[in-house]
Structure 1
């Protein structure tokens, strides 16, 4: 993402990067020596940048990083620019934590904070074809879109702050359930003696068609290039799928929304995540955990 951003920024702009993995940051600088600086800490990024993009694993990391960036609330005086900062958080976290960070940024007068979780995975990040779902006030949409379009193909404004995360979690909840259902249906058909490719082809022109059946089919040999064809390596890790599912379930329960399948799916993903022959693999490995024929 940083590589694509640097390639499309104006030549005289400077990209400040900061990563807890110093080796990764140093390697990025070596590969992109022009217009890149390594910041000592996240506060330096906030002081020297007008637009700040964060991508972090868990809610506590987002809260911690933004606390370091926003305190003391003197960015507009101590930084290189007195222009209002735009904070874009591309992490997939719970909407409650995101709102608390947004409230802090706005109440301290340090700038606008928007949520912009993304879809497309490692392949999309490398190719610059990510989809960003943003939750932002209308007056911040154009500025955010201009930046995010350098790293992705689509920027979808879903509403005010928090809307991007709600949209992403709803989508990934459905994805997690469809993934299990596809694995079960494929296993069912194969056990009945159906040819895997013929079964998948039929599903993908019928009402069962979905992304896990058409693009990421869990049965080896059905879709060329899918993780199933390389021992379920790469792709969307089962732990990440499970994390997003848990976040979606929690956010739904916090809002009093009834779910029929979520808890059952979460229990199943917990099993898959801990299984030795599934741990660390693409989430389509649920097919293996079901005892599917490989």
Structure 2
């Protein structure tokens, strides 16, 4: 019996993509793992060497690390939570038929397609205590009597940057959930109307169950992206004042910017591990729902 020749063309076609993934993803990841076990401070290149678990012990004893982790939790929970709520509302509005719907859909994407650096600079100007638009509006409607330095005081800086990330992420949820809503058969709502179902009954018994997989995936992606987000906060506050807006990803960036690559690699790996703890149960729940 003649042996069937193996077709190598599929493997040759995917080789460039595999090599790129190895170069830009796998190699840097392995290098970060290696550096986390080293004293890797470029300010003292002569001291670079293997230190075992010293970096991990130092990070876990670092009060600033735990404070940054707590702010990251607040950043993700409130940021992603309100993004979902307002994005879901916007998706339902955009799913309705009205004149100029295409234009509204296009305009609503502006916050999402705007670069994070530009968003940070724009909102820093909006919040500015001397000439910011927000202070001007609040004083004109008599809600405040004097300008508030939103980004310069610890009590207001974190809510301010969270509001910014909410504004940025709403269009992403709206776009993804809108795609899911358009796949829900209209006959289901017609049957519900005939049965006398209320708006809340249709929402929780038809709409949400029909797009739950879209909700799962979209929320998971945003949790990962927001937790790793650096550009918005860094360009608005740099993590200040007095580290009051420094999330874990910003702390990692600041340490790397200070050339302490071993310490920053350690924190980035711990952040990756924490995100895996969130992602794995989330994905298991999603696949279990699909099998059911």
Fold equivalence (TM over 0.5): no
Higher helix share: 2
Higher strand share: 1
TM-score where L is the length of structure 1: 0.27
Larger radius of gyration: 2
Greater relative CO (CA pairs within 8 A, separation 6+): 2
